[in-house]
Amino acid sequence: MKGARSLRSLAIGTIAIGVVVGTGAGRATYRPPVQSGDEFILAGDFHVHAAPGDGSLTPSALRDEAARAGLDVIAITNHNQLAAAPLVSALAADANQPIVLLGEEVTHPHYHLIAVGIEHVVRSDVSVAEAVAAIHAQGGVAIAAHPTRTFTGYDDVALAVVDGTEVAHPERVEKYRREYIETFARARQLNAHVAPIGSSDIHNSLSIGQCRTFVFARERSARAVIEAIRAGRTVAADERGRLYGDASLVARVRAAMPKVRTDPDRPWRRAALILTWFGVAGLLMS
Q: What confidence tens digit (pLDDT) does each residue in 138-174 have?
A: 999 999 999 999 999 999 999 999 999 999 999 889 9
At residue 2 the predicted structure's pLDDT band, cuts being 50, 70 and 90, is low
The whole-number average pLDDT for the span 68-94 is 94
271 phi and psi, to 5 degrees? -60, -40
| Whether pLDDT at 16 is above 80 | no
In one-letter notation, the amino acid at residue 108 is: H
- Residue 168 is predicted with a pLDDT of 97
At residue 272 the predicted structure's pLDDT band, cuts being 50, 70 and 90, is low
* Residues sharing a CB contact under 8 Å with residue 188, sequence separation 6 or more, in sequence order: 194
- Residue 23 is predicted with a pLDDT of 45
Query: Which helix (H) or strand (E) is 3 found in, with range?
Result: helix 2-23
Cα torsion through 251, 194, 180, 161, rounded to 10: 180
Instruction: Determine what percent of the chain is predicted with pLDDT higher than 70.
Output: 80
| Whether pLDDT at 261 is above 70 | no
Q: Measuring CA to CA, how many Å separate 202 from each of 9, 20, 199?
A: 29, 23, 9
Find, among 201, 203, 230, the residue nearest to 217 by Cα.
Answer: 230
At residue 257 the predicted structure's pLDDT band, cuts being 50, 70 and 90, is confident
The whole-number average pLDDT for the span 72-82 is 97
Q: What is the pTM of this model?
A: 0.85
The residues spanned by each domain of the chain are 26-265
CATH 2.30.110.10 fits 26-265, yes or no: no
At residue 100 the predicted structure's pLDDT band, cuts being 50, 70 and 90, is very high
